[in-house]
Chains A and B, each alone.
Chain A
Amino acid sequence: MSAVDLTLADALDRLARKDISAVELTEAHLEQMARHRSLNAYLVETPERALGEARASDARRAQGQAGPLDGIPLGIKDLFCTKGVETTAGSRMLENFVPTYESTVTANLWRDGAVMLGKLNMDEFAMGSSNMTSAYGPVENPWRRPGSNAKLVPGGSSGGSASAVAARMALGATGTDTGGSIRQPAAFCGIVGIKPTYGRCSRWGTIAFASSLDQAGPFARTVKDTAILLRSMSGFDRKDSTSVDMPVPDWVKDCVGNVRGMRIGIPRQYRIDGMPAEIERVWNQGAQWLRDAGAEIVEIDLPHTKYALPTYYVVAPAECSSNLARYDGVRYGHRGEGATLTELYENSRAEGFGAEVKRRIMIGTYVLSAGYYDAYYLKAQQVRALIARDFTLAFEKCDAILTPTAPSSAFAIGEKMDDPIAMYLNDVFTVPASLAGLPGISVPAGLGDDGLPLGLQILGKPFDESGVFRVAQAIEDAAGFTAKPALLAS
């Protein structure tokens, strides 16, 4: 078994036993990255830095000073500012932008000894569900439909992260999730991805898309691996006023798959019209697995679910229209030529931003403008409160909620590209929990009719990542998902 096929937990064990060195582990991943460069998952590779960090990690371990993630090679979504390393947010606007500071989340990972392999491709400013909006080209999913050469999307916006972890180009990766940007690509790439409760991970140094929704989280190939990573990434940060000052539990202890006595809610309203049979099948299968493991399955109501997508597509663009105003060509980033100030603004932003980002800035500007604010933004905030209340009431009847992660498996590059609404529907199951700030995980549950992975989503109460991990582990144990991407078989 190659070092790149190890789980993160196994790699830590082997490092501890000195069966493998951090340098060997890092070299194996750097080789894998070179082998699958055509996936376009990495925007920047940092091999020298990675090897330097790996050597330092081995030295620490030799002195008995290894941290919880010491020597673990990770990929970092390009939304996280990394000191001295280009950070583009997948946008031409920030081409060649090199931060002088390190995001809190990545700083926490380096504090615990992790090694950075490079920066991962993503939808521009995290806006997208396919990774097609990146200014640096689409990312390819390492999975293929059996008998087809059609290149598939990895999902988005954290498409590079999901593709890299699925293709064994990292033991784990960071992602961010605003409306499903961790959970949907995890499902599309057959790996695990968790968005913790809003406020668990500091947003400081992570480039903002929609501040009230953005939340960082990890990708890995097992539930336990994501628990290990999330523990390092989380924690109160006084530099982020929305960060929550709560102790970070040792979630690995929750990855035992014991769901006996737990009540698992199945939301009636998630059985949407036209949902593919395979999605329904895997969802029912998941419920059955949990029932078999001793959980009680209860039907629940989340009556405002149908308003979640439109609400999200008012709130998120509104915040993004303001958050992205700082990219004006004046202080940093792309500057267009212009004889007047207005021309400078217009050309900088017209050239620097891609079509999807512009679309959302325009939607956001519209919904906040005088005369429309009450009808759109204010109404959306009110509906958002109702959606959050739906969950509060539902959690009186259950301890966690089980749903599909996405309404389909990965689609081909080029599909759905001309219809933004069809693209937005990808987020139909992930967006409600984002609006409510709840923790949600996607776990691979099996392969669909097209031979591609399908994910199940588990949602928990605020700050009950423990419960989420517990149920996720039970699904993982029952699913026994061992399928590998086509790319790795060849």
Chain B
Amino acid sequence: MAELIRGTTGDWEMVIGLEVHAQVTSKSKLFSGAPTDFGAEPNTQVSLVDAAMPGMLPVLNGFVVEQAVKTGLGLNAQVNKRSVFERKNYFYPDLPQGYQISQFQHPIVGKGEVEIDLPDGTTKSIGVTRLHLEQDAGKSLHDQDPRKTFVDLNRSGVALMEIVSEPDMRSADEAAAYVRKLRAILRYLGTCDGNMDEGSMRCDVNLSMRKPGAPLGTRCEIKNVNSIRFVMAAIEYEARRQVEILEDGGKIDQETRLWDTRQGITRSMRSKEEAHDYRYFPDPDLLPLVLEDGLIERMQATLPELPDAKKHRFMGEWGLSAYDSGVLVAEQERAAFYEEVAKGRDPKLAANWTITELLGALNREGKDLADSPVSASKLGGLIDLIQDNTISGRIAKEVFAEMVESGKDAASIVEAKGLRQVVDTGAIDKLVDEVMAANPDKVAEYRSGKDKLFGFFVGQAMKASGGKANPALLNETLKKKLAP
């Protein structure tokens, strides 16, 4: 869905491409054995290689290569059997080698695609240009001392996958959907934990504006946009900024900009003229990476069912809507939870309870599914009670609230609170008789044709039963007894 920006000279279309830096899930770094634990004390996860001591050499981590191959397969991409690590040279205190080892001309993964789900229920294919492996830099801390900059090298050398998209997105919503889908795929694959707040997934946004159908305009790159919310906000801001310049007859300078989280604006970081000359060349410390025969096939065999396949299966196998399926497959744990709830039960009922009630409740409390007080089997137990008429849907909501509160299972709550539905016809006959006896004038009015009063009787009888009367049975009995 292209989101057009209306200007005084007509409509403008956004052209968006994203570069996502995803930290590879692995115990050790890309070229050293140092650990990668998040949140460790500064400079405690640093090997001699990561600190670029004299004479140190990189040795490629084979597990990281497997993770990249797996990710390539998950993105339906071409995996290149031969790729080359190159050096990207620049000086910065948190880059100890004075160069980042990255892949440039020959990445490990080539063209692929990601299918995104849009809010209107449609899908769109976004091209992936390439995926390459590279080292992360350390972290410069400018706020620890008035005069000095401190450097933490814990991240130095951590393996990243840079996943570059084609400029296929046309709105902030599409960009957000792309990041969400990419994150879901990486999480399904177990190749990146996707935690944007811990920095394990970071985004650079490339954006240009054009009149619909016109050739591509000049783009700006916005660096380090570190949440989906910020991706959307940065796109909205930058699009409007560019349109204003263009409509004033100005030209967009190709430049690198920075997303300022506090002010909610993008700021110029460096112009094209100030751009670094990175002097890429093949790293002579590393031989070209040639994947061993069978590695790609072996990785293919380890691929889990990915979100899109799962979504289509949910629609086919369980008969769910595209929307419900999309919500359920967004996270692997959520989909697995749902499948456990749905097994042997009404799939649509299971989907409603999982999405509307459980996810709704968790969302209100700011909890993850992993912290849910209601397990899949407990939610299933509740649905069983609805399906076998032990409780009504209305009572079920009450029971569910209690389950969220106490973590107890549905059956024991129903038992303890005496919420079992009244299905005894004798008891219901008695209830109905009592209500009719207490309201003889209303009975007469009903019998003389005032049908609308039926609801009144249902309400009175249900109230008298404490809400426990089986609604169907009650209706049936009332109809019979009120009949003239």
Contact of A81 among B52, B55, B93, B286 (CB under 8 A): B55
Contact sample, A vs B, 5 pairs, CB 8 Å cutoff = A206-B55, A240-B59, A325-B89, A331-B52, A341-B93
Contact of A368 among B52, B58, B281 (CB under 8 A): B281
Whether B56 and A204, one on each chain, are in contact in the complex, defined by CB atoms closer than 8 angstroms, is: yes
Q: Which one of B93, B149, B280 has the highest number of Cβ atoms from chain A below 10 Å of its Cβ?
A: B93
Chain A, Cβ-Cβ closest to B97: A326
Q: Could you tell me which B residues sit within 8 Å of A by CB distance?
A: 48, 51-60, 87, 89, 91, 93, 96-99, 149, 151, 277, 279-281, 284-287
Q: Which one of A100, A207, A325 has the highest number of Cβ atoms from chain B below 10 Å of its Cβ?
A: A325
Whether B91 and A325, one on each chain, are in contact in the complex, defined by CB atoms closer than 8 angstroms, is: yes
Q: Could you tell me which A residues sit within 8 Å of B by CB distance?
A: 80-81, 87, 89, 94, 97, 99-101, 103, 203-208, 210-212, 238-242, 318-319, 321-322, 324-326, 328, 330-332, 341, 345, 365, 368-370, 373, 377
Contact of A369 with B287 at beta-carbon distance under 8 Å, contacts A99-B54, A326-B52 already known: no
Whether B53 and A322, one on each chain, are in contact in the complex, defined by CB atoms closer than 8 angstroms, is: no
Question: Which chain B positions have C-beta within 8 A of A377?
Answer: 281
Give the distance to chain B from A44, nearest Cβ to Cβ, in Å: 16
Interface of chain A: mostly helix, strand, loop or mixed = loop
Contact of B57 among A239, A324, A328 (CB under 8 A): A239
A430–B218 Cα gap in the complex (Å)? Answer: 51
A398–B68 Cα gap in the complex (Å)? Answer: 46
Question: Which chain B positions have C-beta within 8 A of A318?
Answer: 281
Whether A101 and B53, one on each chain, are in contact in the complex, defined by CB atoms closer than 8 angstroms, is: yes
16 extra interface residue pairs, beta carbon distance < 8 Å, beyond A103-B55, A239-B57, A326-B52: A99-B55, A206-B55, A239-B59, A241-B59, A242-B285, A322-B279, A324-B98, A325-B91, A326-B96, A326-B97, A328-B93, A330-B151, A341-B149, A368-B279, A369-B277, A370-B279
A369–B89 Cα gap in the complex (Å)? Answer: 10
Whether B97 and A319, one on each chain, are in contact in the complex, defined by CB atoms closer than 8 angstroms, is: no
Whether B51 and A241, one on each chain, are in contact in the complex, defined by CB atoms closer than 8 angstroms, is: no
Question: Which chain A positions have C-beta within 8 A of B281?
Answer: 318, 322, 368, 373, 377
A319–B283 Cα gap in the complex (Å)? Answer: 9
Whether A89 and B91, one on each chain, are in contact in the complex, defined by CB atoms closer than 8 angstroms, is: no
Contact of A212 among B54, B87, B151, B284 (CB under 8 A): B284
Contact of A330 with B55 at beta-carbon distance under 8 Å, contacts A241-B287, A322-B99 already known: no
A141–B7 Cα gap in the complex (Å)? Answer: 80
Question: Which chain B positions have C-beta within 8 A of A341?
Answer: 93, 149
A325–B90 Cα gap in the complex (Å)? Answer: 8
Whether A328 and B51, one on each chain, are in contact in the complex, defined by CB atoms closer than 8 angstroms, is: no
Give the distance to chain A from B454, nearest Cβ to Cβ, in Å: 83
A318–B284 Cα gap in the complex (Å)? Answer: 11
Chain B, Cβ-Cβ closest to A325: B98
Contact of B55 among A207, A212, A345 (CB under 8 A): A207
Chain B, Cβ-Cβ closest to A377: B281
A239–B55 Cα gap in the complex (Å)? Answer: 11
A331–B43 Cα gap in the complex (Å)? Answer: 12
A365–B277 Cα gap in the complex (Å)? Answer: 10
Q: Which one of B53, B57, B96, B277 has the highest number of Cβ atoms from chain A below 10 Å of its Cβ?
A: B57
Chain A, Cβ-Cβ closest to B285: A211
A345–B54 Cα gap in the complex (Å)? Answer: 18
Question: Which chain A positions have C-beta within 8 A of B97?
Answer: 325-326
Give the distance to chain A from B305, nearest Cβ to Cβ, in Å: 36
Whether B279 and A365, one on each chain, are in contact in the complex, defined by CB atoms closer than 8 angstroms, is: yes
A206–B285 Cα gap in the complex (Å)? Answer: 12
Chain B, Cβ-Cβ closest to A87: B54
Give the distance to chain B from A53, nearest Cβ to Cβ, in Å: 22
Contact of A208 with B98 at beta-carbon distance under 8 Å, contacts A101-B48, A318-B281, A322-B87 already known: no
A242–B288 Cα gap in the complex (Å)? Answer: 10
Question: Which chain B positions have C-beta within 8 A of A326?
Answer: 52, 54, 96-98
Whether A368 and B89, one on each chain, are in contact in the complex, defined by CB atoms closer than 8 angstroms, is: yes
A377–B51 Cα gap in the complex (Å)? Answer: 28
Question: Which chain A positions have C-beta within 8 A of B280?
Answer: 368
Lowest 5 A-B CB distances belong to which pairs? Answer: A325-B98, A211-B284, A212-B284, A368-B279, A326-B52
A321–B99 Cα gap in the complex (Å)? Answer: 11
Chain A, Cβ-Cβ closest to B85: A241
A228–B151 Cα gap in the complex (Å)? Answer: 46
Give the distance to chain A from B182, nearest Cβ to Cβ, in Å: 31
Give the distance to chain B from A360, nearest Cβ to Cβ, in Å: 15
Chain B, Cβ-Cβ closest to A369: B277
